[in-house]
Chains A and B, each alone.
Chain A
Amino acid sequence: MRKPKLSTVIDHAVLIAGSLFLMLPLLMLLQMTTIPDTEIIQTGPSLKIGDQFGDNLEKAMLQASGFSGENTGMSMLKNSFILGIGFAVGKIVIGMTAAYAIVYFRLRFATLAFWLIFTTLLLPLEVRILPSYEVVQRLGMLNTYQGLIIPLIASATATFFFRQFFRSVPEELVEAARIDGAGPVKFFVDILVPLSKTMIAAMFIIMFVYGWNQYLWPTMITTDEDMYTLVRGIKQIVQVLEGAVVPEFGRSNVLALVAVVPPVLVVVFFQSWFVKGLTESDK
């Protein structure tokens, strides 16, 4: 066997160090869920693997941690999925239809509509957070899924992405469809949507993760504990840990991990779509 070159060894060492840097913190969270809380407050995280994971999982998912008794891990998990999927689907549907109108139709005010829509790319929700809150409050949408999801959709990232994609679709396709007598609806449903499948998948993954991981907006909009998402619940976890005599790290770490696992699985399993969508959408 050939002796490996020194530079190759260094390359691998750097990559392994980088992987560990990214991975160790979450392994530490996991380790802490396997030992009793009374042990954690003495030793902190260690290399020991205990047998408490099942108990902590049960506590985290089925018992409520707040005051109202309604925010169990299960209910937060459900809300997170509603937010992630609702946001992704809403964004894609609205983005695709708007992009279709902009690219494929002769439209008066097309330029105006275009600018109105794409100006929204400039300002993230974070800079207009308070007035947005007031609007949602005035519309009576606090502590509702609509209030949680729809304001987050009010930016044109997906529209922009689909516009770019539709423009790259060959012109001949729409000509051929028209010669064959296909109307705009048929062309969209039978040709454009199937053609965009990969793009839709990539967008869905990116938007699902983005929606799932929202923190500031859910923190403001949801005050009812049964509306909490997992990521929003982190705030409460930290506050509860602060005040406790024996902080329940086992249970809170399970919740933090449950908040991480679904989006991570999506990204890892659909890696190639995800990377394609990410690197192409932002250009």
Chain B
Amino acid sequence: MKRAGFSTPWLPVLLLVPQLAIIAIFFYWPAIVALHSSFFLQDPFGFGSTFVGLDNYTNLLGSAEYRRVAVFTLTFTLLVTVFSLALALLLAVKADKVLRGAKTYRTLLMWVYAVAPPVAGFIAVILFNQSWGPLTELFALFGHTYMVGVNFNDTAFAMILASVWKQVPVNFIFFLSALQSIPRSVREAALIDNRSASGRFWDVTFPLLAPTGFFLLIINITYALFETFGIVDTVVKGEPGNNPMTLVYKVYVDGFRGNDLGGSSAQSVILMVLVLALTVFQFRLLERRIHYT
């Protein structure tokens, strides 16, 4: 709030009404409904529901299927985050270093940001086509018959590859902008103190990138958890079966296809808690970050 603000009484209310109305109807109402129905067992034919307390939650946590999906989601998130961050960092450092063609490289390395996740999944389906996919043929050279949608690990790898491909540009943009904001004086001082390029990178550049890295870590975890939905859905071709899937995908499959509203809502609530925890963690990091600059 500005010190010298206006004090017209009705105008700010009028200005806030659209925003508040939309979030009340499409944010708070659904969130409360999710919380509410996670404590109920829905009749599959739509004849009301019974209060079951924490049963939906205990059922979930006791279910081997749910634990399997959770473990996969964790592995998937970890791999996607690590690989897309590492690859983007490497490319950003090089793009920051070269003199010739810097602008062209920047464009070439960031435009995939605009590609929709399901298109990335669609590309993976083609690359791993059973009979003529280029990557299937590559794996065949090493004696591995690649089968997306049949073999669990094969499907998982295709998902991870597509997810990393789609996420590298975002990380690249942030790393590059962080690198370019390192003051000249710091770089020159480092050049005098440390003659080896890799030494300079690990002792000076890398610590200066740490705040961006932490921030990106959260962004990437959120991406792997939620935004990869389109990739998962296209790679499994809408047929989850025994295929790998993420927690968000399971919310959709159980609730939308399986009509298990209570179970799906409980899953939503668990995810909400997870995201809240991540956000609190992020805010604490941000607070600490201020001291850096």
Of B95, B119, B271, which contacts A260 at CB under 8 A? Answer: B119
Question: Contacts A94-B18, A134-B30, A150-B26 hold; do A105 and B7 have CB atoms under 8 A apart?
Answer: yes
Q: Apart from A126-B271, A127-B271, what 19 extra A-B contacts exist at CB < 8 Å?
A: A11-B97, A14-B94, A22-B109, A25-B127, A32-B126, A43-B132, A100-B15, A105-B12, A120-B27, A123-B31, A129-B268, A131-B268, A132-B30, A178-B4, A209-B113, A234-B234, A238-B234, A275-B177, A279-B177
Query: Is B168 close to A, CB under 8 A?
Result: yes
Question: Cβ of A215 and Cβ of B1 under 8 Å apart?
Answer: no
In A9-51, the 8 Å CB interface with B consists of 11-12, 14-15, 18-19, 21-23, 25-26, 28-29, 32, 40-45
Closest partner residue, chain A, to B226 (CB atom): A126
Question: Contacts A19-B105, A28-B126, A29-B123 hold; do A154 and B26 have CB atoms under 8 A apart?
Answer: yes
* Partner-binding segment picked from B72-80, B182-190, B251-259: B251-259
Interface extent on B, as a size class? Answer: 35 or more
Question: Contacts A19-B105, A234-B234, A267-B114 hold; do A127 and B275 have CB atoms under 8 A apart?
Answer: yes
Question: Cβ of A106 and Cβ of B98 under 8 Å apart?
Answer: no
In A176-196, the 8 Å CB interface with B consists of 178, 183-185, 187
Question: Contacts A14-B91, A21-B165, A105-B8 hold; do A44 and B33 have CB atoms under 8 A apart?
Answer: no
Query: Is B122 close to A, CB under 8 A?
Result: yes
Centre residue among A102, A127, A133, A174 by max chain B CB count within 10 A: A127
Per the CB 8 Å criterion, the residue count for chain A at the interface is 102
| A253-B215 Cα distance, complex, nearest whole Å | 35
Question: Contacts A129-B251, A131-B30, A171-B4 hold; do A235 and B22 have CB atoms under 8 A apart?
Answer: no
Question: Contacts A15-B105, A154-B26, A213-B116 hold; do A130 and B264 have CB atoms under 8 A apart?
Answer: yes
Query: Can you report 14 residue pairs joining A to B where beta carbons are below 8 Å apart?
Result: A8-B98, A18-B94, A21-B165, A41-B131, A97-B18, A106-B7, A127-B272, A131-B29, A135-B33, A154-B23, A209-B113, A215-B116, A278-B173, A283-B215
Dominant SS among interface residues on chain A: helix
List the 10 shortest-distance A-B pairs measured between CB atoms, nearest first. A44-B132, A131-B30, A154-B26, A263-B114, A105-B12, A131-B33, A213-B116, A101-B12, A101-B15, A98-B19
Set of chain A residues within 8 Å of B202, measured between Cβ atoms = none
| A187-B127 Cα distance, complex, nearest whole Å | 55
* Partner-binding segment picked from A52-60, A68-76, A109-117: A109-117
Set of chain A residues within 8 Å of B37, measured between Cβ atoms = 131
Closest partner residue, chain A, to B231 (CB atom): A215
| A210-B12 Cα distance, complex, nearest whole Å | 28
In B68-119, the 8 Å CB interface with A consists of 87, 90-91, 94-95, 97-98, 100-101, 105-119
- Measured CB to CB, the closest approach of chain A to B149, in angstroms, equals 10
